Structure 1
Amino acid sequence: MIGTIHDRFVDNDDAAILTALSNIFNPTVRKDDKVSDVEVAAEYLCSLGFESCREDLSLFLGYLHSLVDSGNRTIRGSRDAANIAMKKQKRSVGFY
């Protein structure tokens, strides 16, 4: 089975994309450390037809980390960050 899993992920960027998305929504990872993650995720999202995804991700990170840096205690983990992104998306046409 290990060989099958290895074969599944070796020829594509699934692992890199999942890692990037995980890091983007992880509030404990510093914003400056997410630059390459934003590039990987944006490239993937743009390939799916999401326009201005790079800008949206950057704006989301700015918003998320402004909450974290201000000491907002509602952001404890990735789930909280994802919930904020979904709530914010429902209120506006773009992300931020």
Structure 2
Amino acid sequence: MDLFAVAINAVFMQTYIGGVSCPYICSRRLDHGVLLVGYGSAGYAPVRMKEKPYWIIKNSWGEKWGENGFYKICRGRNVCGVDSMVSTVAAVQTSTQ
């Protein structure tokens, strides 16, 4: 998977200690930049009758925060605006002669 810089509303990140964060009400007012590094699914979501899909986000607040510096947030509903502003870089090697 490629790495993506994303913007997010960090209000629920401030109290995150682990698991998959799926806030039902979260503003999409973007106020924090993070790195999207992967995805997965875990836990049980009674509403969906299956596992919860999530994004894995690396934060800049250090390894003592969250799950060793990482945050899992629900994937697929633009929770806290995580899908709103995404960017990546494509590197191209050129020859100089």
Task: Please indicate, yes or no, whether the TM-score normalized by the shorter chain is above 0.5.
Answer: no
TM value normalised by structure 1: 0.23
TM value normalised by structure 2: 0.22
Give the number of the structure with larger relative contact order, counting CA–CA contacts within 8 Å between residues 6 or more apart: 2
Q: Which has the higher helix share?
A: 1
